[in-house]
Amino acid sequence: MTGAYDDRDGKIWMDGKLVDWRDANVHLLTHALHYASSVFEGERCYNGKIFRGREHSERLRSSASMLDFEIPYTVDEIEAAKYEMLKANGWTDAYVRAIAWRGAGPDMGVSAKRNPVRLAVAGWEWGNYYGDAKFKGAKLDISKWKRPSPETIPCHAKAAGLYMICTMSKHAAEAKGCSDAMMFDYRGYVAEATGANIFFVKDGEVHTPLPDCFLNGLTRQTVLEMLREQQVKVHERHILPEELEGFQQCWLTGTAAEVTPVGQIGDYSFEVGQMVKDISTAYEKLVRA
């Protein structure tokens, strides 16, 4: 499927029914458009099965709760909607995007308690998020923007508004010929990329930032489980910028990114070594099992 995302053939599930792709529209005065009152999930379907789909649906409802609204569909209903959308489009391998938001209604200001909460599920066929970086290692810029303090945002929600600085960071990175950007947190510790968690390897042991002010991704959790099953020692901790020089390997994890090796972050270089190759292969096998 090609073309602009608003002009394609296919079906999108929206508020309880399938609609033609081009008819899946909202009004200009939708609250989410003006005040970012929306949450979403990114998921992948492999061989007809959405990987950790139910956990994604649970997190969607949890994220909405953190933004002070309730999705009017149960986890079971959200799951059914995803598969209904996939079946309608004839897909067994696809990216799935569920999104819930405050729509247009009686309120049009910061407060929107009376506005309806809406839900949609779309999907598309999507290859490697970072293109050939999946094999040779992604090149990352270092963002000037930092992940904010938990006192300023609902940092554990997958909320649209939290991605504004991610978009800005990624645009700046792409202008420099990079695939993405790594971000520090408000304290100056290594945090994550714009849409993926990050891992490092040093002397056969894995180090990954503690997700105390950013999203603890489901792919991140999966990879941690895999590493522990392989009896690899893992350190979840705060990582200082100057430590980057001592790491030998690096990779990103995320639903879109899957497991993608990193070859460079700013002036720091990393090898696409055996551990990241093994984890990437094992992850691919797991999601298609």
Domain limits of the chain?
A: 11-124, 133-287
DSSP states of 103-138: -SSS--SS--TTSPEEEEEEEE----TTTTHHHH-E
Q: What predicted TM-score, i.e. pTM, was given to this entire model?
A: 0.95
Yes or no: say if 166 and 194 are a contact pair by the CB < 8 Å rule.
yes
> How many residues make up the chain in this entry?
289
**pLDDT band for position 3 (cuts 50, 70, 90):** confident
Report whether 95 contacts 42 (CB < 8 A): yes
Residue 216, pLDDT score: 97
Instruction: Kindly state the percentage of the chain with pLDDT values over 70.
Output: 99
Asked whether residue 1 carries a pLDDT value surpassing 60, the answer given is no
Q: Residue 75: pLDDT band by 50, 70, 90 thresholds?
A: very high
- Report which of 287, 283, 280 is spatially closest to residue 134, judged by C-alpha positions: 280
Residue 274: its H or E element: helix 274-287
Question: Scanning the structure block, which residue is given the tokens 């929306």?
Answer: 38
Q: Do domains 11-124 and 133-287 have the same CATH topology?
A: no
Mean pLDDT of 9-29: 98
CATH architecture of 133-287: Alpha-Beta Barrel (3.20)
What percent of the chain has pLDDT above 90?
A: 95
At 86, phi and psi to the nearest 5? -60, -45
Q: What is the pLDDT of residue 111?
A: 96
- Is 202 marked active-site? no
Q: In this structure, which CATH number among 3.40.190.10, 2.40.420.20, 3.30.365.10, 3.30.470.10 belongs to the domain 11-124?
A: 3.30.470.10
| Candidate list 11, 82, 158, 170, residue with the active-site label | 158
The tokens describing 266, both together, are: 């700013």
